[in-house]
Amino acid sequence: MVKKNLKVLIITSVVILLPILAGLLLWNQLPEQIPSHWNANGEVDGWSSKAFSVFGMPLIMLAFQWICTLGTGADPKKANHPQKIVHLVLWIIPILSTVLHIIVYMVALGQNVRVEVVMPVLVGLVLTIVGNYLPKCKQNYTIGIKIPWTLDSEENWNRTHRFAGWLWTICGLLLILTGFFGGFWIFFAVVLVMVLVPLLYSYILHRKGI
């Protein structure tokens, strides 16, 4: 996994660490306490030190990136991982990290950022893309809907992922809309549907002997 995707892994790791360079360039302009968490209404309700925001957050994201990569590489069925899906997984954390740091720095510098709009749109976009790739995901232990019924039956896995693919695509688009027209509870309800409905569908298939 690491050797096969070393070039992409190096590029994505550099992207994750770029906010450190940006933070150093902005160091004298950044306040000592920087916003690090927002509530459902887009109001800041958590703060971190400047040092942690500039250095700690990117390093934590980098650690997550490598943990995910090494975990995926240890999958006994890693041969079933299509390269497009592997590359998608490798780019999710760098993209999210970059957007989050842009938001953090902009807010810290006094810019007005509507986090309650940006984050649902970003999450919805990522999940829509993932939804398009789910049907192409073959049976494995690290990527996809990994529950006993899908892991026990390849047909159950394939049907569940085809079903979840279009469901996640639709729900991802709905999440994008919640950024402009909805609220936290609508966002939460849509995410709940994305998680629970495929599980129920897989269980029904299992009960039918599939």
pLDDT at 1: 60
Residue 21 C-beta-side C-alpha neighbours within 13 Å = 6
pLDDT at 2: 66
pLDDT at 38: 84
Which pTM does this prediction carry?
0.82
Spans of the chain, pLDDT less than 50: none
The b-or-e profile of 177-197 (16+ CB within 10 A means b, else e) is ebbeebeeeebeebbeebeee
pLDDT at 127: 93
Dist. CA 20–CA 70, nearest whole Å = 24
Residue 198 CA, chain-centre distance (Å), reads: 18
